[in-house]
């Protein structure tokens, strides 16, 4: 949300196209307006707290030009904390590209707005970002593109992603709500023609693995949040995990880290 202070500041910057929306449109709506105002053949998104690495756009444009079939290109991201210091973690897609539809549906493919460049012509075939979704509109779009187009994975890091913390107030903070929504939205995405055409067994397997992954993520972050005294966040995560897949959430393995921390404190 742009405040009044930002308006004169950005309007004075050279070399950018500044659009001031008088009515808040949410993330998806604002990005759609940006797409409408852009004139290029390729689109990349950048959040206001993230950073693109020098030359990364050129590399991605070249990748898309060399492979006219591909719908989008994505690459590894470096992680940074709220102060902007690199944490040393790099999130990179494990898959080598091509058909990643099922990987994306299973949430096993880390495509983020920061790491992706989309061919604009794809949007005409699959539709713009869905404004009916308040979050996850990026995942929804990537799945819809991957349903029809192959995807390129490049190995050069493209950007620095500022990791949200339990208290940073970003949209990804209420993780329990976000991931529960993701679990629900996955059922909607199963209605895409390609998922529908697949055998029910395949869908069940993907669903099961995705739920396990969500539950593991929720528990891992809950356990991490406990030493930081973010108890509310941790509780929300644990309850969401129990709701989604109680069997997985009650597995003692998920709490190994917590045991370790507690033991360290005691010793």
Partner 1 sequence: MPTTSVVITTHNRPHLLPRAIASAQAAGTDVEVVVVDDASNDETAEVCRNLSGIRYVRVERNQQVAGARNIGILNSTGHYIAFLDDDDVRLAGSLDLQAAALSSAPEAGLIYGQALINDPEQVGTEMLYLRRCPQGDVFWELLEQNFIPCGAAVFRRSCLLRIGLLDQSVPGIDDWDLWIRIAAFYTVIVIEQPVLVWRKSSPTSGQGTSRADQLVKISTRLMHRKWFELQPAVDACAKKRREVYRRFSKNMASHLAFETVRAVREGSLFCARRNAVAALQLHPWSSVKLALSLTLRKRTSKQRHPD
Residues that bind partner 1 (CB under 8 A): 19-23, 25, 29-30, 32-33, 35-37, 123-128, 130-132, 144, 147-148, 192-193
How near is the Cβ of 59 to partner 1 at its closest, in Å? 26
Nearer to partner 1, 125 or 208 (CB): 125
Nearer to partner 1, 189 or 215 (CB): 189
By CB atoms closer than 10 A (0-12, 13-18, 19+), residue 1 is exposed
Nearer to partner 1, 8 or 252 (CB): 8
How near is the Cβ of 187 to partner 1 at its closest, in Å? 16
Please say whether the beta carbons of 117 and 73 come within 8 A.
yes
How near is the Cβ of 37 to partner 1 at its closest, in Å? 6
Nearer to partner 1, 20 or 202 (CB): 20
Nearest to 109 by CA among 82, 145, 80: 145
As a three-state string, the secondary structure of 19-31 is CCCCCCCHHHHHH
Burial 11-32 (b: 16+ CB within 10 A, else e): eeeeeeeeeeeeeeebbbbbbb
How near is the Cβ of 48 to partner 1 at its closest, in Å? 18
How near is the Cβ of 214 to partner 1 at its closest, in Å? 24
Nearest to 112 by CA among 27, 202, 29: 27
Q: Which residues contact 192 (CB under 8 A, 6 or more apart)?
A: 143, 144, 147
**Distance from CA of residue 44 to its chain's centroid?**
14
Give the integer Cα–Cα distance in Å for 64 and 71: 8
How near is the Cβ of 123 to partner 1 at its closest, in Å? 7
Please say whether the beta carbons of 158 and 53 come within 8 A.
yes
Nearer to partner 1, 102 or 233 (CB): 102
Nearer to partner 1, 106 or 147 (CB): 147
- Dihedral over Cα of 31, 32, 37, 38: its sign: positive
């Amino acid at each position: 949300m742009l405040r009044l202070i930002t308006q004169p500041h950005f309007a004075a910057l050279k070399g950018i196209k500044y659009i001031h929306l008088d009515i808040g449109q949410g993330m998806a709506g604002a990005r759609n307006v940006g797409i409408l105002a852009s004139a290029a053949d390729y689109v990349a998104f950048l959040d206001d707290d993230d950073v693109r690495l020098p030359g990364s756009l050129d590399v991605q444009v070249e990748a898309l030009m060399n492979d006219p079939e591909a719908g989008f290109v994505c690459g590894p991201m470096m992680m940074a904390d709220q102060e902007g210091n690199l944490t040393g973690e790099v999130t990179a897609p494990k898959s080598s590209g091509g058909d990643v539809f099922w990987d994306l549906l299973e949430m096993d493919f880390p495509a983020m707005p920061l790491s992706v460049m989309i061919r604009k012509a794809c949007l005409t075939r699959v539709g713009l970002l869905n404004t009916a979704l308040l979050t996850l509109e990026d995942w929804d779009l990537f799945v819809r593109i991957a349903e029809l187009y192959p995807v390129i994975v490049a190995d050069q890091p493209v950007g620095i992603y500022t990791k949200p913390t339990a208290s940073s107030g970003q949209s990804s903070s209420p993780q329990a709500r976000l991931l529960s929504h993701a679990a629900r939205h996955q059922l909607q995405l199963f209605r895409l023609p390609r998922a529908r055409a697949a055998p029910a067994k395949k869908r069940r397997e993907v669903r099961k693995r995705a739920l396990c992954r969500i539950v593991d993520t929720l528990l891992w972050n809950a356990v991490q949040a406990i030493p930081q005294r973010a108890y509310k966040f941790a509780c929300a995560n644990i309850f969401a995990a129990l709701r989604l897949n109680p069997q997985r959430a009650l597995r003692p393995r998920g709490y190994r880290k917590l045991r370790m921390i507690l033991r360290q404190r005691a010793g």
